[in-house]
Amino acid sequence: MRQRVENLQAAGIDAEFHLFPNLRHGFGLGIGTSAESWEQEAVKFWEKYISRKNGISHGK
């Protein structure tokens, strides 16, 4: 996955990958884990591109 993200970034595509300690895929909201609040960060990332696509600026 890291290599895939690095390739996207090298191509000029904004991409992020977060590996949370001691967790595997499917940890839900991550409450009480190292991934707690991951979904809030994901929404911020998505909003950046939804806004651009729709011509809306949220100052991000």
Spans in the chain with pLDDT lower than 70: 52-60
Whether 60 maps to a domain, the answer reads no
Q: What is the pLDDT of residue 60?
A: 43
Amino acid found at 11: A
Q: What is the pLDDT of residue 6?
A: 95
Whether 16 maps to a domain, the answer reads yes
Amino acid found at 25: H
Spell out the residues 6+ positions from residue 18 whose beta carbon is closer than 8 angstroms to its own: 35, 38, 41
Domains in the chain: how many in total? 1
* pTM for this entry: 0.60
Q: What is the pLDDT of residue 22?
A: 84
Q: What is the pLDDT of residue 29?
A: 77
Whether 42 maps to a domain, the answer reads yes
Q: 39 φ, ψ to 5°? A: -65, -30
